[in-house]
Structure 1
Amino acid sequence: MYQEKMRKIRNIPKLSAKWANIFVPFILSCLMSGIISLINLLRNIGWYDGFIDLWLKNWMISWSMAFPIVLLLLPWVRRFVGIFVDISHLKSSK
């Protein structure tokens, strides 16, 4: 019963663990680009009537660049972090 709950979220099957390498950067780049574009737009222009439309437009442009950049840089960042942090247990679990 417990394993059945683990495999589905509201009757939608969960993705396999191999998708985490794509899904985590996808969500992270979405959140980061959205927050940063919101802060930059508020600081540079301030709030006005068409703010949400302009922000969403700028966010999508930022996200379309952020996601591929994160995917490209992620292997390098993992190796760089491995210089300072013991990640051997992560490599052996694959």
Structure 2
Amino acid sequence: MSGIMAMLMSIVIVGAGTGIDSDLPLRVWHAYKLAMPVAFFCVLMVRPLVARLVAVSIRS
């Protein structure tokens, strides 16, 4: 999940910020190399909160 989201966000943000041209794939790859570890650790940190919210909403 974090890998897919990091790639999609990298494409959108790099494309919007620097434009779409022949260098886009390389710029996206550089952005993805930074975004993937950040997204992975964010998912790990947010997971317990999401699990609690799901448990609360299912009981209702």
What TM-score, normalized to structure 1?
0.49
**Displacement after TM superposition at 1:79 (Å):** 3.6
Matched, 1:77 2:46: yes
Q: 1:66 pairs with 16, 35, 38, which one?
A: 35
2:38 equivalent to 1:87: no
1:35 matched to 2:12? yes
Higher relative contact order (CA 8 A, sep 6+): 2
**Secondary structure of 2:53's match?**
coil
Query: What are the superposed Cα offsets for residues 3-51 of structure 1, whole Å, 9 maximum, x if unpaired?
Result: xxxxxxxxxxxxxxxxxxxxx1111111110111000012xxxx6xxx2
Find the aligned partners of 1:87 and 1:75 in 2 and give their Cα distance: 16
Q: Which amino acid aligns with 1:28?
A: M
Q: Return the structure number with greater helix share.
A: 2
Please, which runs of 5 or more residues in structure 1 have no aligned partner? 1-23, 90-94
CA deviation after TM superposition for structure 1 residue 81, in Å:
4.7
Q: Which runs of 4+ in 1 moved over 3 A?
A: 79-82
Which one has the largest radius of gyration? 1
1:80 Cα deviation (Å)?
4.6
Aligned residues: CA RMSD: 2.2
**Could you state the TM-score of these two structures normalised by the residue count of structure 2?**
0.72
AA partner of residue 88 (structure 1): A
